[in-house]
Structure 1
Amino acid sequence: MSDDPTPLDRALVARDQAQAERAATFTFLDWADPTLVAAARGAGPDVGAALALARGLGRVSGELGRSTWTVLQALASLGAGDLTVARVVEPHLDALAILAQSATSDGAVAPSPPPPGSTFGVYAAHAPGAQLRATESGSGWVLDGTKPWCSLADRVSHAVITAHVDDVQRRAFVVDLAHSGVHLSDAPWVSRGLAAVRSTGLRLEAVPATPVGPADWYLTRPGFAWGGVCVAAVWFGAAAALAQTVLDAARRREPDQVAGLHLGRLDAALRAAELELRAAAGAIDAGTAVGAAGELVAARSRNAAAAAAELALGESARALGPGPLTSHEEHARRVADLTVYVRQHHGDRDLARTGSLLIGARG
């Protein structure tokens, strides 16, 4: 009987060697869940497919506060795959986490579980001249007024939405967006980034609403800051994908010092962002990310992720030139999407707020 390796043996050895080589090759996405990256790439930028993925990932929201890196890794992986998908999934998971937190908070009012198959937006923005009022009657709460910046209000079935209960206090409510009293603004959506994720104003007329927690609970709960960390994870994931594109391009040609400079800057920024996100996850799980400490944890992770995103946009533009912006659909869309998405960070104002937290100032 021959001891010579069979073709199958040789194939298995070759496979193992290839896997070892790939494992030894650096990637900016070594932290990611490849299954979720692929799922997002496959679904994007189709909103319907993204909503289906959001429904399937609903259970992930339950890990916030006990295995938070699982949530951040999932969102970052989706962001690395397709930002439209991540932008759809993130508020849905946020809403489910809000509902779960209201069910376990002392003195909070927990609404009934949403119908199976529901998808959620979270609408908490306020703007001058736009106010949503909540009033209580014998039959329950109703909402009247206007609400700005309601992303995907034309596609999701429900929303967690904040409204004034008096001149000072706000309260969160769940509403069914299919109610006849919900009217979408016809204002144009001309964004080149996140083009499929339309954000619109809403006008509500006597819309039934179910309270989520007591007055001001939505803004004062620890999970408010945690939601900001989740958004930062998406920015980080997209920035890492841009960096990987730069790295892949550098490996296809003879590298020079300038290519190394681009990659060194990207590595430093992404490493800092990842460490902040992991630190935030650890603090949330340990129960220390509450109050001002929770605000600081969220601010640091958002600052680091936003800085990495801005740097990735700039470094990828200089390293790659106009070619992929004009000929590579996925890259061009990622650049446009991230340019819009990271504007949720308020730049110097958020950094100033971080400094105020460090010295104990308020306001």
Structure 2
Amino acid sequence: MRNQVSINRLIFDVLNRFEQYSAEEKLNQRPLLLKNLIHSAGRLPEPASNETYQRWQIFAQIAGFDLSLAKLFESHCDALSILHELGYENEIDEKTWAVWAADGGPAPLKVENGRCLGIKPWCSGAEFVQKALISFKDQHGQSQLCIVDLNQPSITIDLDQWQAVGMQGTQTARVNFQDTAVKLIGRPNDYLDRAGFWHGAAGVAACWYGAAVRLMDELQQSCLKTPNPFKKMHLGQLATQVMITRQYFQYVAQLIDSQPKLSHEREVRILRAQAEKSCLAVIEGVGKALGARPFCEQASFASLMADLPVFIRQSHAAFDDEQIAERCLQEQVSWQL
């Protein structure tokens, strides 16, 4: 990998130009910018390669400018890491990749004899991503992965199902596969059982964190330009949480690099919980401190505020929601006052 400072500079220059575009221009230019970022950054260090923190720093840097772009970029990098970890390095090419692992939908995927049939929900970048790693459940209910080349006439894309106001820039869609050619990757449950599953989950949290830091920067700059005790109080309270979160990112990165064959699931879960807590505190605190003006007049600020809570909710694994629902049913939880 090239020098970290030079890569950060290249990424900053590309993103700084992008930030000047209108919302419509950003929507049109994001696929091209994604390719430019992939080319500028090159192959990122793999998780657990003694440069895990540097990898997360790049995700956070991009997220501070545009969360939709960060999600697409992180998904591309995650796909390459999965192929690397599962021993399919030879499948990696110059195409733009994604990982589509959301379950559910009206017709869950079925894969048989190298052909795919069904619907995959929540596929980000579906109209411009070229290849994807998609998950499905086999006949025994075990999770499997396959590669799909998206340049096939048997694939149709439905953009009307994504109703979230936030993360519109990902152009997330429901994708329908009708006898589509795919290539199986790994053995049953390899995708979930590998240590890198949790290392990658921490990388997603780095995107959340990068957006929160950018919002904090807005508050800090406002305090410098027009200081008042109310804004300074919120800045002090939030800075403490954000600094704690950054230190825990550093700790978990060092842990992963020192013991690369372990998943460190417990520590990653704690990291994600801490990152979410600090991000939600930033959303509330910065919003209160700065008032209505940046929500209404600053495009980047308004986008981050709308995108960040959606990205956090979207990122949580479905099985966690199922576990919560099952516990509520068992305990007969009531929400009545």
- Alpha carbons 1:102, 1:213 under 8 Å: kept: yes
Provide the rounded CA distance (Å) in 1 between the counterparts of 2:321 and 2:257.
25
SS at match of 2:123: strand
SS of 1:154's equivalent in the other structure is coil
From 90, 93, 108, the equivalent of 1:112 is 90
Residue 222 of structure 2 corresponds to residue 249 of structure 1: yes
Q: Which residue of 1 aligns with 2:22?
A: none
2:16 to 16, 38, 41: 41
Whichever residue aligns with residue 122 of structure 1, its letter is V
Q: For residues 259 and 54 of structure 2, what CA distance do their matches in structure 1 show?
A: 16
Question: Are the aligned partners of 2:100 and 2:134 in contact in 1 as well (CA < 8 Å)?
Answer: yes
- Counterparts of 1:114 and 1:345 in 2: how far apart (Å)? 25
What residue in structure 2 maps to residue 123 of structure 1?
100
The alignment of Structure 1 onto Structure 2 pairs a total of residues equal to 308
Q: Please report the RMSD computed on the Cα atoms of aligned residues, expressed in angstroms.
A: 2.6
Label 1:172 to 1:68 Cα distance change in 2 as closer, same or farther (>3 A): same
Q: TM-score, normalised by structure 1?
A: 0.78
- 5+ long unaligned stretches in structure 1: 1-31, 104-109, 354-363
1:304 is displaced (CA, Å) by 1.3
Q: Which residue of 1 aligns with 2:333?
A: none
Moved more, 316-325 or 162-171: 162-171
Residue 60 of structure 2 contacts residue 209 of structure 2 at CA under 8 Å; is this kept in 1? yes
How high is the sequence identity, in percent, across the aligned residues?
25
Give the Cα separation in 2 of the matches to 1:125 and 1:43: 29
Match of 1:181 in 2: 154
Matched residue type, 1:239: A
Matches of 2:115 and 2:280 in 1, distance apart? 42
Q: Which region of structure 1 is more displaced relative to structure 2, 58-67 or 77-86? A: 58-67
Change (3 A) 1:352 1:306: farther
Q: 1:63 to 1:303 in 2, by over 3 A?
A: closer
Q: Structure 1 159/284 Cα, relative in aligned 2: closer, same or farther at 3 Å?
A: same
Task: State whether residues 39 and 81 of structure 1, in contact with CA within 8 Å, keep that contact through their aligned partners in structure 2.
Answer: no
1: CA distance, partners of 2:66 / 2:16? 5
Structure 1 position 277 matched with structure 2 position 249: yes
Partner of 2:303: 333
Structure 1 residue aligned with 2:237: 265
State the distance in 1 between where 2:10 and 2:90 align.
Answer: 32
Question: CA offset at residue 290 of structure 1?
Answer: 2.3
Unmatched tracts of structure 2, length 5 or more: 1-6, 20-25, 324-337
Q: Secondary structure at the match of 1:166?
A: coil
Q: Is the 8 A contact 2:125 2:171 kept in 1?
A: yes
Q: Note closer, same or farther for the CA distance 1:36–1:307 as it changes in structure 2 (3 Å cut).
A: farther
| Distance in 2 (alpha carbons) for counterparts of 1:250 and 1:186 | 41
Letter in 1 for 2:14: A
* Pairing 1:70–2:45 present: no
